Amino acid sequence: MTTPQTQGSVMTVAIARFVHVMSSLTADNLSELTALFSESARFKDPFNEVVGRAAIERVFAHGFKQCPALRFVVDDIAPVAPNDSSPNVVFFYWRFLCGGLAAAPDALSITGVSRVVFDAEGLVCEHLDFWDPAEQLYSRVPVLSGLMGWIRRRLSAR
């Protein structure tokens, strides 16, 4: 059982491990990613909402099929002060890079934030990704970019 004194060190190790695994993730080491999650962990992003290690691994495996050179860069970490309703929440600000160097004109670089909840053992029990697919993905598709620009202009306060 984790005590309040040891909980801080559990979280420190869990956060460091999460960043290390995400930063070094490849299609060949997805088992390291799934080892970070509890059996019934929930993962949600703009395109997926799944529960369980196997389902989470499928989401990331699909990402590597779409972009074999995919990589994640964690730029900032913001642990939330523990409280009764959210004892182990951490926000990660990250970049998802695909297609070579982020400066290349055809490279895909998506920025986002993940809200990650760790359990008392330091395993991820919930991982929610927040990023804007309209601005960062749909706007790159020729047919959709015009539509997205029109919608953005119509909704803008100017």
For 129, the domain range is 4-155
Q: Looking at the predicted structure, is the pLDDT value of residue 5 above 60? A: no
In the prediction, which pLDDT does 137 show? 56
SS3 43: strand
Q: What is the CATH number of the domain that holds 139?
A: 3.10.450.50
pTM of the model: 0.79
Q: What Rg value do the Cα atoms of the chain yield, rounded?
A: 17
Segment 109-135 shows an average pLDDT of 89
Domain count of the chain? 1
Ordered DSSP codes for 70-106: -EEEEEEEEEPPP-SS-TTEEEEEEEEEESS-TTSTT
Side chain identity, residue 143: V
Query: For residue range 57-95, what is the model confidence (pLDDT) as tens digits?
Result: 999 999 999 888 899 999 999 999 877 776 799 999 999
C-beta separation of 110 from 93 below 8 A: no
Residue with tokens 């990589």: 71
Segment 137-144 shows an average pLDDT of 59
